[in-house]
Structure 1
Amino acid sequence: MSVQLIADSGSTNCEWVLLKNGRRKNILTSGISPYFMTGDQVVQLLHDQLMPKLKVQVDQVHFYGTGLGNPGNEALVKLALKQVLKGAKINIHTDLLAAARALCGTSKGIACILGTGSNSCFYNGKKIVKNSPGLGFILGDEGSGAYLGKKVVQYYLYNTFDEDLRARFDARFETNGKEILESVYRKPLPNRYLAGFTKFLAENRGHYMVENIIEDGLNDFFFNHLYKYRESWTHPIHFIGSVAFGFKDVLQELCNSYELELGKVLQTPLDGLVAFHKNA
């Protein structure tokens, strides 16, 4: 039986699973983001953080990660893995395919990502055949953590929150308008910064303003993306990501109102990917 290595990488962390003789070993390293790392940096990370924990010859690698729909990024990561994991067959996949395989396996369905960013596709059981285009967190990313966090910040800066919620916000984040604007417009990774405010929504469920932000933000995802797939009415709609997992009840309500079938809702794809590759 071949030894497989499966990776699910974001820009912060990368989770690896080594499959050998039906047994599973989990390994955690820093994230591998080809937008922010050179090939040499990826090689160094693999040597320092992955290889000391592997200690076996790997036959096949399935690496899923962000930014890998870009051919240049794909080539960078593939070359780095080849240099370190010599002799292994290297397969590079996008995070959207990771979601589709983890959620749908070999069945047809709509697979959605609602995490820091958002994305969706129709998956035919083998490959992604339709993808609603994402516009990034400034123009799009409806339903994502960045999108919902931006709404929280707007409510705060426009003084839309009532006194109670404003006091809760001040106590939770200890920030001000100047700091927020500086972080959004001048500091790196503003999408991640904005997504950090989504936890305020999770911690204050039940307040009508909080519920409105969540429902409106997720409804924008349904309207702008899921509505564009005619398959949405004939196949289950699956979700993955921290936002989807945290607000599963709202997704169920929206599916009911749109007369759609809610499928699986997972926090991360790794267990689903392990099951997919074991069966494959």
Structure 2
Amino acid sequence: MPAAFELSKVSVVRPGKTLLDDISWTVGDDERWVVLGPNGAGKTTLLQIVGAALHPTSGTVDILGDRLGQVAVAELRTRIGHTSTKVAERIPPAESVRDVVLSAAYGVTGRWREEYDDEDEVRTDQTLGEWGIAALAGRTFGTLSEGERKRVLIARALMTDPELLLLDEPGAGLDLGAREDLLASLEALASSAGSPALVMVSHHVEEIPVGFTHVLMLRDGRAVAQGPIAQTLTAEHLSTTFAQPIQLDHDHGRYAARRAGYGRRAMRPADTGGNA
């Protein structure tokens, strides 16, 4: 199975802090991964490495057949779709939704004087339709709800038909309804034979779409566990990852987690029939 990317003994060290520590990780081009971990675990740093936006301090990184450090990263990045809050922050609030998606063809976040061909125009309309946001095409990005913005950002990331799609906390800030709408779309994307390799970062198991195949769990920059989701996403591994006892439930492909014993109250003498 061809690898979308392969990290071997990757570390990222900054003064006084190790952000990633000896990470080895291989993702096949037909796999859908979720990366789980608490704040500060190294998830976003890892996604920057995989997105060719950051070089490791040590170790090797091969992305889409090219070795990071031996390839023009600007060209490599055009083959990778990436959504994050940083991308959203660079988009001018007055930019139309259609131009937000269309401008991905040039890798810019604000349309200026670029010339787009008919293929770009058709692809933009197709992508807007596939993600159910064609009705938003004339709206400006700054007027969208958080859920609408997340869908527009994913449509933008898919505009160039990438070989690898990276989603950095796509469910963050969404209400329940918007989250479920987004997950339904991601489930459809994950099950499509023509979809790119997918990596999604999250804090919450509840945000894992049905159809995702693998999980990587991080804590303090190190891998706690990684592998097929059915065998690897366990209460034991979650408890280690989040440093507290976790109970994990699974139903029809969806997961739910809570602190083990949450909601129980201490037994008092009156509860056991004793005297107060």
TM-score above 0.5, yes or no: no
Q: RCO greater where, 1 or 2, for CA within 8 Å and sep 6 or more? A: 2
TM-score relative to the length of structure 1: 0.25
Structure with greater proportional strand content: 2
TM-score relative to the length of structure 2: 0.25
